[in-house]
């Protein structure tokens, strides 16, 4: 499983779609993300439906974030909490795996992991997540907000008491960029951040 690759435009074009989705190059980061665009890859990826409409466009950071510490049941503990992972743009309304609506717009993605308090049983095998925040409210690429601060910022995206989240994980070995099925409901986008393969669920439904 993987996330997005700094090069990869040629590879992404060659990857076939799963079900009704395929991946294509997205070009340069959007103007609304200019405050953090220097940290992003120059060419993003778009996830396209079979009718030609765009589900989302994504630009990950060009270099893998560092500064993390060991954390139980996470796959990417080398990444510091709150690190910027990229920017995602939704041209039309979508939803996260909790069923929360994602309004059309552009959002930052920052690394986090859900607390071990018993409230998240069954949501994912791992605790790694990307929290989405409105790009207009998150303009410092170097920032690493603590859990509570990041959740509050993400609530501005969800408009609910729960942050807007995408399930992610670090792969144990390199995986080709593209998109594929995982289980009965999920579709997973594979990308590379630096030399690290990361996966992100872009369509799915949480069982917990």
Half-sphere exposure of residue 64: CA atoms within 13 angstroms, side-chain side: 18
Q: Is 85 part of a structural domain of the chain?
A: yes
pLDDT category at 71 given cuts 50, 70, 90 is confident
Q: Is 208 part of a structural domain of the chain?
A: no
What would the mean pLDDT of 140-155 be, rounded to a whole number? 96
What pTM does this model have?
0.85
Instruction: Give CA–CA dist 62/60, Å, rounded.
Output: 6
Instruction: Give CA–CA dist 190/178, Å, rounded.
Output: 5
Q: Is 147 part of a structural domain of the chain?
A: yes
Residue 65: in which H helix or E strand, if any? Answer: none
Q: Is 2 part of a structural domain of the chain?
A: no
pLDDT over 70 for what percent of the chain? 85
Q: Is 4 part of a structural domain of the chain?
A: no
Q: Is 1 part of a structural domain of the chain?
A: no
* 186: containing domain: 9-203
Q: Is 134 part of a structural domain of the chain?
A: yes
pLDDT category at 89 given cuts 50, 70, 90 is very high
pLDDT category at 116 given cuts 50, 70, 90 is low
Contact 12, 176 (CB under 8 A): no
Contact 188, 169 (CB under 8 A): no
Q: Is 167 part of a structural domain of the chain?
A: yes
Task: Return phi, psi of residue 176, to 5°.
Answer: -65, 140
Number of structural domains the chain divides into: 1
């Amino acid at each position: 499983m993987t996330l997005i690759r700094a090069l990869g435009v040629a590879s992404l074009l060659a990857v076939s779609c799963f079900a009704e989705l395929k991946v294509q190059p997205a070009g340069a980061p959007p103007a609304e993300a200019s405050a953090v665009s220097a940290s992003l890859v120059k060419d993003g990826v778009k996830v396209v439906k079979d009718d030609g409409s765009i589900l989302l466009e994504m630009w990950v950071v060009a270099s893998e974030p560092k500064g993390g510490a060991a954390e139980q049941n996470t796959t990417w503990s080398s990444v510091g909490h709150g690190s910027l992972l990229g920017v995602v743009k939704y041209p039309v309304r979508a939803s996260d795996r909790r069923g929360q609506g994602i309004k059309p717009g552009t959002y930052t993605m920052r690394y986090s992991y859900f607390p071990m308090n018993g409230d998240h049983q069954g949501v994912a095998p791992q605790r790694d997540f990307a929290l989405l925040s409105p790009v207009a409210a998150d303009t410092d690429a170097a920032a690493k907000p603590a859990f509570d601060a990041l959740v509050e910022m993400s609530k501005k995206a969800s408009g609910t008491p729960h942050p807007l989240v995408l399930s992610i994980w670090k792969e144990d070995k390199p995986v080709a960029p593209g998109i594929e099925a995982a289980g009965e409901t999920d579709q997973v986008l594979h990308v590379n951040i630096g030399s690290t393969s990361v996966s992100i669920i872009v369509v799915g439904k949480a069982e917990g």
